[in-house]
Amino acid sequence: MTAPAPARVLVAMSGGVDSSVAAALLRDAGHDVTGVTLKLWGGESDSGCCSAADVEDARRVAAQLDIPHYVFNFADEFEAKIVDQYVDAHAAGETPNPCVECNRSIKFGRLLERAEALGFQYVATGHHARVRCHADGRYQLLRGVDSAKDQSYVLYMLGQRELRRTLLPVGELTKPEVRAHAARLGLRTATKAESMDVCFIKRGGRAQFLADRLEARPGPIVDEAGTVVGRHRGVATFTVGQRRGLGVAAGQRRYVLGVDAPSATVTIGRREELLRDGVDVRELCFVAEPPAAAATVTVQSRAHGRPVPGRLEGKRVRFDALQPRIAPGQVVALYDGDALLGGGIAA
């Protein structure tokens, strides 16, 4: 979606090339653009998008573009709403997606509120997705043009209120086109590597992060029949579908079928035992209207996972063909072609 010019736009600048080019495109389209970098993680970090170097990259790109740049400190809210909930979810045997929750609570929650209070008409980010406004005033959220970089999945929670205030300029470009545009402008982020990590997880990894915050709860590893086949040192680091690091010798590959946090029991089995005909979802929300009863949708359960056909039946998504069980806590996004319909959390 292109905003009527001129508009006051607050651009969330992470210090990466996508948000740098988003700011540049909006400036060149005649908008009154201000950049803001969010200080989210107050703890130690050596990866992700919250380092001092990233803030400096964003500040220097803003200077190159001759736009104002500020830093908003949302660290307390981030720790309470994202980090603490991440730890709690793992303790309960779930596999959360903190980047989704950050988009929900911080970038399209707290930041949007702050932008409105400061008189900005729009918030823009560097996400690879597209917003379309129809003649009747209804908004759609579409996959980004670059299917390999599409990020609509992590924005499944955006509704009409958020979309009418959101601009996603780079969703119309492929990643090579984004980098080429940054290079033409001489932006320092043109060749910067992408951040693929959760910003608050150090290189010690998820296991160490959780071990520092949760009391270890060792327990049994059992097969589908309930026979104990091994022991583990804590359920928090297991996720449904996992096949590496199980610590169990077996003649063929075994996968985590389930994690029962109250009893600290991890159940493993063969891949065929992992297959399900559907998944129950909670906290369902929709971009506009829910799909019609029995309508075919495509279902995506990972950020870059392969969509599969299915149907939404109340609060259950039914697959057309058996699929590996989706880990509780993961997002289940529903699409109609390139249009994101909405989604929920796997129960």
What is the DSSP secondary-structure string of 173-234? Answer: S-HHHHHHHHHHHT-TTTTPPPP-S-TT--TTHHHHHHHTTS----EEEE-TT--EEEEES-
Burial of residue 233 (number of CB atoms within 10 Å: 0-12, 13-18, 19+): middle
End-to-end alpha-carbon separation of the chain, Å? 34
- Please count the CA atoms within 13 angstroms of the CA of 192 that sit on its side-chain side: 25
Catalytic residue among 49, 50, 99, 199: 199
As given in the structure block, the two tokens for residue 73 are 């400190």
Contacts with 63 (C-beta within 8 Å, 6 or more apart), sequence order: 69
Would residue 205 be called left, alpha or beta, if left means φ above 0 and alpha means ψ between -120 and 50 degrees?
A: left
d(CA 17, CA 120): 23
The yes-or-no answer on residue 49 being catalytic is no
Helix (H, G, I), strand (E, B) or coil at 8: strand
The yes-or-no answer on residue 199 being catalytic is yes
What is the DSSP secondary-structure string of 41-78? Answer: --S--SSTT-SHHHHHHHHHHHHHHT--EEEEE-HHHH
Catalytic residue among 49, 50, 99, 102: 102
Known catalytic residues are: 102, 199
